[in-house]
Structure 1
Amino acid sequence: MNLNVLLAEDESSLGLIVKESLENRNFTVTLCENGELAFEIFKKHSFDALVLDIMMPKKDGFTLAEEIRKIDKEIPILFLTAKSQTEDVVKGFKIGCNDYIKKPFSIEELIVRIISLTNRNQQTVKKTTLNIGKYEFNTENQVLKYNDKTFKLTNREASLLELLIQNKGEIINRETILNTVWENNDFFSGRSMDVFITKLRKKLNLDPNVEIINSRGRGYKLIE
Structure 2
Amino acid sequence: MSIALTTILLAEDEPALGMIIKESLETRNFKVLLCENGEKAFEVYKSHQPEILVLDVMMPKKDGFTLAKEVRAIDDTIPIIFLTAKSQTQDVVEGFTVGGNDYLKKPFSMEELIVRINNLLNRTKLQKASEILKLGNYTFDFPKQTLQFNEDTPIQLTHREAHLLFHLIKNKNQVLDRSLILNKLWGNDDFFNARSMDVFISKLRKKLQRDESIQILNVRGFGYKLIV
| 1:9 equivalent among 12, 15, 23 | 12
Alignment-mate amino acid for residue 48 of structure 2: H
- Provide the C-alpha distance between the structure 2 equivalents of 1:62 and 1:99, rounded to a whole number of angstroms: 13
| 1:73 equivalent among 64, 72, 76 | 76
Match of 1:47 in 2: 50
Match of 2:91 in 1: 88
After TM superposition, list the pairs within 5 Å mapping 1:1-224 onto structure 2.
2-126=5-129
Aligned residue pairs: how many? 127
The CA deviation at 1:45 is 1.0
1:3-34 per-residue CA deviation (whole Å, 9 max, x = no partner) reads 21000000000000000000001000000000
Percent identical pairs in the alignment equals: 65
Alignment-mate amino acid for residue 83 of structure 1: K
- Provide the C-alpha distance between the structure 1 equivalents of 2:52 and 2:85, rounded to a whole number of angstroms: 20
Point out where structure 2 has 5 or more consecutive residues left out of the alignment. 131-228
The CA deviation at 1:101 is 0.6
The CA deviation at 1:2 is 3.1
- Provide the C-alpha distance between the structure 2 equivalents of 1:2 and 1:88, rounded to a whole number of angstroms: 32
What secondary structure is seen at the aligned counterpart in 2 of 1:57? coil
Structure 1 stretches of 4+ moved >6 Å: none
1:167-204 per-residue CA deviation (whole Å, 9 max, x = no partner) reads xxxxxxxxxxxxxxxxxxxxxxxxxxxxxxxxxxxxxx
1:123-158 per-residue CA deviation (whole Å, 9 max, x = no partner) reads 01115xxxxxxxxxxxxxxxxxxxxxxxxxxxxxxx
TM-score for both structures, normalised by structure 1: 0.56
1:40-75 per-residue CA deviation (whole Å, 9 max, x = no partner) reads 111111111000000000000000000000010000
- Provide the C-alpha distance between the structure 1 equivalents of 2:122 and 2:30, rounded to a whole number of angstroms: 14
What secondary structure is seen at the aligned counterpart in 1 of 2:112? helix
Alignment-mate amino acid for residue 26 of structure 1: N
- Provide the C-alpha distance between the structure 1 equivalents of 2:22 and 2:100, rounded to a whole number of angstroms: 21
What secondary structure is seen at the aligned counterpart in 2 of 1:51? strand
CA RMSD of aligned residues (A): 1.0
What secondary structure is seen at the aligned counterpart in 2 of 1:75? coil
- Provide the C-alpha distance between the structure 1 equivalents of 2:25 and 2:129, rounded to a whole number of angstroms: 25
- Provide the C-alpha distance between the structure 1 equivalents of 2:122 and 2:113, rounded to a whole number of angstroms: 14
Alignment-mate amino acid for residue 25 of structure 1: R
Alignment-mate amino acid for residue 65 of structure 1: A
Point out where structure 1 has 5 or more consecutive residues left out of the alignment. 128-224
